[in-house]
Amino acid sequence: MMTRAGACCLLVVAVLLEACATAQPSLWEAHTNTAVAAYEQGRYAEAETELHAALREAERFGPDDPRVANTLKGLATLYYSSGRFDEAAPLQRRAQAIDEILQGAREGSVPEMLTNLAGIYLRQGRYADAQRIFERALHEWERAAGPDHPRVASAQNVVAEIYRAQGRHEDAAAMFERALAILERAFGPDSPGLTRNLQSLARIYARQGRYPEADNLLGRLLAIQEQSLGPDDPGLAATLEDYARVLKQMNREAQAAEVETRAKAIRSKRKSD
């Protein structure tokens, strides 16, 4: 669930965008300012009422005016932060459609809105809808940022997680591989920024029975974590446990026992601290 601070931030951004567009105060701006103040003070019903009033004023400038999109985003975020996902989704869709019309001036707007909408569907457990929207968001990120941008890799990772949640392990592995390749080119093969990707892909490989490949990734992951975190950091324990399970599947029992012992020692030390 989005934090109160996150929702306030989005509402404030809407006001700032309008301030850039016109030097004259408007009823739209007045209602939006009141909504922000109400939200900051925890008066959520009043914030919602003011945002609806702001939306009516924004629509006077035309159905595709950026003030309409900004207000819709504020309302959607308000609903999102209070768990009203079904009400947030159509507002996100409408705001995204307006942003598409305004694409020339705001390249990142469309993929950001699609990502937000897909996140709502994902939290509702609507995996097919989330997959469809995230895949489009991925395409839009590739178009806006370029196919090798780290933001594209982040979107690919989310799509891969959705595939995994649906049991589509081959598709998940392929998407994780694409994301890992981008991150390796962007940050280098030993960057701490690769840790989540290496872990996710290794677990997929293990589930598929691709143990030598999982072994290789987990070895890389441990080396990166030891360098960035230290040899006894609690963050290593989960990686060591994954590694031990893979080693057992490869009949490397002695090495698996050593790795398990190390994982237990790290966890015991954490409990005693």
Query: So where are the chain's domains?
Result: 1-106
Report domain 1-106's class: mainly alpha
In sequence order, what DSSP letters do the residues of 152-191 get, joined into one string? HHHHHHHHHHHHHHTT-HHHHHHHHHHHHHHHHHHH-TT-
pLDDT at 209: 96
pLDDT at 20: 40
User: Averaged in consecutive runs of 10 residues, what is the pLDDT profile of the chain (273 residues)?
Assistant: 43 42 67 86 90 94 90 85 79 83 60 73 81 82 85 87 89 95 93 92 96 96 92 89 96 96 89 67
Q: Tell me the residue length of the chain.
A: 273
pLDDT at 269: 81
pLDDT at 81: 67
HSE, CB side, 13 Å, CA atoms: give it for residue 261.
6
Both tokens of 158, joined, read 């989310």
CA distance 240 to 200: 14
* pTM higher than the cut 0.85: no
